[in-house]
């Protein structure tokens, strides 16, 4: 059985603003991690994301093509997990030759987020 892939988000501040780095490691048949950069130009005080829902949505098609479960090192909302479940079920029916349903395993699940002041 294949190892679960790991999703981590790193954040750094640059002269231009804030950079968030999505790293997907332990990928099937890959020697190096998949790295995606999100640049928030002009935003020098972006808080670290409290939930990683959007980052998982960003890579869900890729992970489904690999057919490899994802361990999310961070918190996700229950709503996002339910939506991702239905999303996957639909795409597996529409394109079974291309996509497989995977497990998304976050470190923590939260049901509700209170707005965070900036």
Q: What is the pLDDT of residues 24-61, one digit of tens each?
A: 999 888 888 999 999 999 999 899 999 999 999 999 99
Which pLDDT score is estimated for 29? 80
Residue 37 half-sphere exposure toward CB, CA atoms < 13 A: 9
Residue 67 in tokens: 């057919």
d(CA 64, CA 76): 18
Which pLDDT score is estimated for 115? 65
Whether residue 64 contacts residue 100, with contact meaning beta carbons closer than 8 Å, is answered with yes
Which pLDDT score is estimated for 13? 93
CA dihedral 46, 48, 49, 50 (to 10 degrees): -130
User: For 55-104, how does the pLDDT look when each residue is reduced to its tens digit (9 = 90+)?
Assistant: 999 999 999 999 999 999 999 999 999 999 999 999 999 999 999 999 99
**Sheet of strand 104-110, all strands in order from the earlier edge strand to the far edge:** 34-41, 17-25, 5-13, 70-77, 104-110
């Amino acid at each position: 059985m294949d190892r679960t892939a790991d999703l981590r988000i790193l954040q750094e501040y640059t002269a231009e603003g804030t950079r968030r780095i999505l790293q997907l490691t332990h990928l099937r048949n890959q020697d190096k991690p998949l790295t995606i950069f999100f640049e928030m130009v002009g935003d020098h005080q972006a808080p670290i994301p409290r939930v990683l829902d959007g980052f998982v949505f960003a890579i869900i098609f890729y992970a489904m093509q690999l057919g490899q479960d994802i361990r999310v090192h961070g918190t996700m909302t229950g709503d996002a997990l339910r939506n991702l479940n239905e999303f996957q079920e639909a795409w597996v029916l529409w394109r079974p030759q291309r996509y497989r349903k995977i497990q998304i395993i976050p470190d923590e699940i939260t049901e509700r987020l209170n707005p965070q002041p900036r």
